[in-house]
Amino acid sequence: MEIRVERLTEDNFNSHSLDNFIRHQVVKECWRNVDGDWILLPISFVEEWIAEEEPFDVQLEYVL
């Protein structure tokens, strides 16, 4: 397998590049700022990302 790293540009990445990407993330701990100190807390949730629900075009303009 060959891994190639490229800088993202408008020519190689667009608002449809992640159309088939499935993000399923199980989170069991989260860093939270409590009174100025970062503390790792036992916070659990499952995050599902669906491209149709995200304002991806706006985010993409910020990145590129």
According to the model, what pLDDT value does residue 21 have? 78
What is the model's pTM? 0.47
Q: How far apart are the first and last CA of the chain?
A: 28
**Domain range enclosing 30:** 23-63
In one-letter notation, the amino acid at residue 36 is G
Q: Is residue 43 part of a domain?
A: yes
Q: Is residue 18 part of a domain?
A: no
CB neighbourhood size of 17 (10 A): 13
Question: Rounded CA gap, 26 and 49, in Å?
Answer: 12
Q: Is residue 33 part of a domain?
A: yes
Q: Is residue 17 part of a domain?
A: no
Q: Is residue 44 part of a domain?
A: yes
Q: Is residue 4 part of a domain?
A: no
According to the model, what pLDDT value does residue 23 have? 81
According to the model, what pLDDT value does residue 43 have? 95
Count: domains in the chain: 1
Q: Is residue 10 part of a domain?
A: no
pLDDT along the chain (64 residues), means of 10: 90 82 89 97 89 57 56
